[in-house]
Chains A and B, each alone.
Chain A
Amino acid sequence: MVPLRSLHWLRARQGVLMLGALAAFLAFMSLAQAQAPPPIDIRIALITRQPPPPPLYEFDPVPEDEGIAGARLAVRDNNTTGQFTGHRYALEEETVEEGQDAVAAARSLVGRGVGFLAVNLPADELLAIADALKGENVVLFNVSATDDRLRGADCRPNIFHMAPSRAMLTDALAQFLAFKRWRRLFLVVGPQPGDKLYAEAVRRSARKFGLSIAAEKPWEFGPLARAKADSPTTAGALTITQNLDYDIAIVADEAGDFGDYLTFRTWDPRLVVGTQGLVATTWHPTFEVWGAAQAQTHFRRTANRPMRPLDYQVWMAVRTVGEAVTQTKATDPGTVRQFLRGAEFGLPAYKGSSLSFRPWDQQLRQPLLVVQPRFLVSVAPEQGYLHQRTPLDTLGFDQPETACKLQ
């Protein structure tokens, strides 16, 4: 009923103070019990895949609870509100092992009464789950897949996207570059399928905001950013940026294999943006305005580490359920889905304005942070990018250009 930490807090006090605090606590408990009927249960699940074991030494390893820690905090936030509204939220953490079927796991969760499912899986698996659960009374939240096709031709009516699309990420950077008048880009594209998609998003953003691709080259020299300092490099990697005329290098390297290598190794003194260097993201440890400082301390105290973008995206998904339930007083996923699509829904998420879903593709509208590793550089949309609906719709695919057809 009362968050666990409050109890810790009580324990920290002594003597008379303790009694006073306890009295207030008991008074509150008895009041809550006297007034409220038994709380209504809302079950939310996070489905995620067991990450591969980390390499021998990784200086910034992905935490084992990445994403899950965000869900835990949000469920606690929901329950603090729920004690006043008569709702009780529970979180199911489902980790799918290698070789295990994510669809079967999702089906089983729904069978156990889960009405809201945050999915931290790649696009194909997310779509398989969405299609398998078609017709079921369940709402899915895409918390990690950035693929534009999920908001386009492959959109599904039962998926809401908390993660920004690649188009939103590259639009955020393109707005910043256009604002700075760094217009001629040198695009370096990695070998992975995601890199190709990111590069495509860069080309689209460049067209949209009046930038040009002055040069483009594939990266063919392997994961040099992961290599040790004494490992051999190739002449090609050292000279790839030679004899080019451009303002800024933009790297498409979602795995982090070479973007950091290129930084400070360009032939001419040029900055690096894209998937490394200056990046667009949803959350950053140096972000503190709009109440974000509170979220940072809350999170750090519960998870013993800084909040990462995935934690924040999962937090938003679980908080979205809480907000919708509080605002509509309904717990039925179908009713919640309708409400999320409407103009009345608003999610406060430490970004200075209420976040809502685009009805045409169910993508969350959100400001994005433009950051370098240890500093918040800007927040997109940049000043001056106007839109008839909201400046947030200058990021990503707008209604007239969407390929998404929701029934």
Chain B
Amino acid sequence: MPWSLFDHKTVVTALGIVWLGAAAEANAYTIYVSNEKDNTVSVIDSDKLAVIATWKVGRRPRGITLSLDGKWLYVCASDDNRVDVVDTSTGKVVRNLRSGPDPELFILHPKGNPLYIANEDDNMVTVVDVETNKLLAEVPVGVEPEGMGISPDGAILVNTSETTNMAHFIDTTSHKIIGNVLVDSRPRVAEFSPDGKRLWVSSEVGGTVSVIDPAIHKVIKKIEFRIPGITKETIQPVGVRLTKDGKKAFVALGPANRVAVVNAETMEVEKYLLVGQRVWQLAMTPDERLLISTNGVSSDVSIIDVQAAKVLKSVKVGGYPWGVVVGPK
């Protein structure tokens, strides 16, 4: 496919979503959803908003991302202790990457290589070359590493550790930890703003999103969520996505079954959208028209109109959808 890295802006977010809009002839994309409980990936057409294929992958697929050209789908097969590489033209697993034990979530370098993998069971971040399948480094981090974010220039990798409750800042050249920021309980996702000046970290059990200044490693704002009729305990932020203009943010709130729409500049919550049950991860289409949320307990994804901030449709997928990534058609 004739994607060039240079004729459009490439932004890689915490789940490794690749924005590939500019060169495409139509605004139709393919949405890939990893189904944790039944070891498959559901493939959804963004025009039809329907599942067009279901692919078999390794056991307990969670983190999911795409190569920059959209040809290869990378899936964390957590219980097989490897990363599956799926050919998106055939839907077949063509090879595996070394990943270290229990890979949960990963992020691709903005240039497309290497892949940074959080090993949940092993308190490590593994760095693997996706071409040669060589391990480049292992970085010891806190207990149960999960969230992975990378700065737009690729210089700083951030890993969150769920039980240590920290965001670890890792220099991607030296693979050294250069800073640790304490956040609220069970940090799940780390997401840089497109300008790289803010880092958003969601705390699932703490119920907050910490906005961090990555230059000084300090929390500058804690966003809290209040929903009438919903107890504080059920508000569990996980997935975070920001629009390219840095104006809007979306936060998935787990068993509160809602996605919060946040003004990313004032960091105030504007609205809550009712989605399926136990919403975890989010992804936007490259044109930022649609936002997709994975709803684990109801085994579906909600399709949200970003501009109107409205839920358009639910699409049934496999068992316990976990991660989501959008690529070209």
Q: Which residues in A have their C-beta under 8 angstroms from that of B100?
A: 9
Contact-residue size bin, chain B (C-beta under 8 Å from the other chain): 35 or more
Chain A, Cβ-Cβ closest to B174: A27
B185 adjacent to chain A (CB < 8 Å): yes
Residue of A24, A85, A390 near B231 (CB, 8 A) is A390
Residue of B123, B134, B135, B232 near A6 (CB, 8 A) is B123
Q: Which residues in A have their C-beta under 8 angstroms from that of B186?
A: 291, 348
A326 adjacent to chain B (CB < 8 Å): yes
Tell me the minimal C-beta distance from A234 to chain B in angstroms.
48
A352 to B182, CA, bound (A): 20
| B123–A352 touching, CB < 8 Å | no
Tell me the minimal C-beta distance from B132 to chain A in angstroms.
11
Q: Which residues in B have their C-beta under 8 angstroms from that of A25?
A: 138, 140
Chain A, Cβ-Cβ closest to B165: A326
| A21–B138 touching, CB < 8 Å | yes
| A291–B143 touching, CB < 8 Å | no
Residue of A84, A346, A348 near B180 (CB, 8 A) is A84
A294 to B102, CA, bound (A): 9
| B142–A81 touching, CB < 8 Å | yes
Q: Which residues in B have their C-beta under 8 angstroms from that of A348?
A: 162-163, 165, 185-186, 205
Tell me the minimal C-beta distance from A354 to chain B in angstroms.
5
| B255–A24 touching, CB < 8 Å | no
| B143–A84 touching, CB < 8 Å | no
Which residues of B190-245 have CB atoms within 8 Å of chain A's CB atoms?
A: 205-207, 231-234, 236
Which residues of A286-323 have CB atoms within 8 Å of chain B's CB atoms?
A: 291, 294, 297-298, 301
- Main SS at interface, chain A: helix
Tell me the minimal C-beta distance from A163 to chain B in angstroms.
21
| A20–B136 touching, CB < 8 Å | yes
| B135–A84 touching, CB < 8 Å | no
Chain A proximity mask over B112-141: 1 for CB below 8 Å, otherwise 0: 000000001111100000000011111110
A13-B135, A77-B143, A390-B232 known; A326+B182 contact, CB < 8 A: yes
| B142–A20 touching, CB < 8 Å | no
A81 to B164, CA, bound (A): 5
| B165–A24 touching, CB < 8 Å | no
Q: How many residues of A contact B (CB 8 A)?
A: 39
B111 adjacent to chain A (CB < 8 Å): no
B258 adjacent to chain A (CB < 8 Å): no
A24 to B233, CA, bound (A): 39
Residue of B123, B135, B144 near A3 (CB, 8 A) is B123
Q: Which residues in B have their C-beta under 8 angstroms from that of A80?
A: 123, 142-143, 161, 163-164
Tell me the minimal C-beta distance from A295 to chain B in angstroms.
9
A85 to B181, CA, bound (A): 10
| B166–A84 touching, CB < 8 Å | yes
A6 to B121, CA, bound (A): 11
A-B CB contact pairs (8 Å), 16 listed: A9-B101, A10-B138, A21-B135, A24-B139, A25-B138, A80-B143, A80-B163, A83-B140, A84-B168, A294-B102, A294-B121, A301-B121, A326-B164, A346-B184, A354-B185, A390-B233
Q: Which residues of B contact A (CB under 8 A)?
A: 98, 100-102, 120-124, 134-140, 142-144, 161-166, 168, 174-177, 180, 182, 184-186, 205-207, 231-234, 236, 255
Q: Which residues of A contact B (CB under 8 A)?
A: 2-3, 5-6, 9-10, 13, 16-17, 20-21, 23-25, 27-28, 31, 77, 80-81, 83-85, 291, 294, 297-298, 301, 326-327, 346-348, 352-354, 390-392
